[in-house]
Amino acid sequence: MTHHAQPELSWGQFPTTRLRRTRMQGWCRELVAEHHLHPSDLIWPVFIQEGKNTETPIASMPGVFRITLDLLVEKIKLANQLSIRAMALFPLVKSELKSPYGDEALFDGNLVCRAIKEIKNAVPDMGIIADVALDPYTNHGQDGVFENGQVINDLTIDILCKQAVVQAKAGCDIVAPSDMMDGRVGAIRKALEQENLKDTLILAYSAKYASSMYGPFRDAVDSAKNLGSADKRSYQMNPANSDEALREIALDIAEGADMVMVKPGIAYLDIVYRAASTFPVPVFAYQVSGEYAMIKAAGNNGWINADAVMAEQLLSFKRAGARAILTYAALDIAKAIA
Ligand code: PBG
């Protein structure tokens, strides 16, 4: 004879308490759901390039294309109709324009600045995020000034402040420093104030880890071959650390960040959770290129249902406490859940 032990629960006992009751029917599962995914939770990162009427597939990111500005505007209108509230711009800078100090980043007629103006003109209520970092613009692929084998912190900050001001003047709503230099958020905030750009938001990539999951992104902005075998471990965080992420976030808030980000995403949900439960600021998460690629690749092999896995992981970001999520699948998911 088997003896079935009954759980000792303070609010009731089996069979009075049957948690399966609320799971039995779809309407009830929806009703009691603690979290929902909305298109407005999603931020769409877009790769842009020079030219006209051209979409170039990125081999390591199935379903993602680098697009020219004329096509971009149409896509942004679609995103807006799907209730996506914000997007982030990443440029492919022509190799002849890449330089040691990333000068092209400071040119107010560069690809990103032109894109910002066109989007604001065509879809004024779409929030535009511009990355503040030099890696798409440098011929060594590092995010800052690189001298004697080192990325030079304070010199880099001077340039990043100018880059942020140029982007804000072009009309972007949010500047997002992704460079991980010490002190850059405060310096950028001060530079914006000095230019009377008081309403420009700062989304700080506060806890950005030196991850191996950025590879496809580096293909997309063509920085992979310039970076070569070098890495970014002297400025991006060690994946071993968690307390340090909270120190980074606390500093960025004190320096004037409006929102903070954890990146990558799914392997760092513990950091998202700690950040969101520790600080009363919006915490965003970035489902990075490698995460996207892994899901798509397995889906294309017929090993998993990529759309279902994508939606499940994005919901997990929300459960962990993310207020919004950057994802290359934003349009597809927004269509699916619309
Ligand atoms: C550049 C930047 C990177 C990403 C966003 N901004 C790459 C890097 O730090 O090397 C990665 C995004 C992704 O992998 O999807 N500073």
pLDDT in tens, 5-56: 665 666 667 888 899 999 999 999 999 999 999 999 999 999 999 999 999 9
> Is 232 a known active-site residue?
no
Q: Separation of 275 CA from ligand 1 center, angstroms? A: 20
Q: What is the pLDDT of residue 308?
A: 96
Is the CB of 288 within 6 Å of ligand 1?
Answer: yes
Ligand 1 centre to CA of 153 (Å) is 18
- Model pLDDT for residues 256-294, shown as the tens digit of each residue: 999 999 999 999 999 999 999 999 999 999 999 999 999
CA of 176 to the centre of ligand 1 (A): 11
Reported as a single tens digit per residue, the pLDDT across 45-83 is 999 999 999 999 999 999 999 999 999 999 999 999 999
Beta 65-68 vs 86-91: how paired, if at all? Answer: unpaired
Please indicate whether residue 211, judged by its CB atom, sits closer than 6 Å to ligand 1.
no
Q: Is 77 left (phi over 0), alpha (psi -120 to 50) or beta?
A: alpha
Q: Do the beta carbons of residue 160 and residue 177 sit within 8 Å?
A: yes
Whose alpha carbon is nearest atom 12 of ligand 1? 288
- 217 Cβ inside 6 Å of ligand 1: yes
Domains of the chain: 39-260 (3.20.20.70)
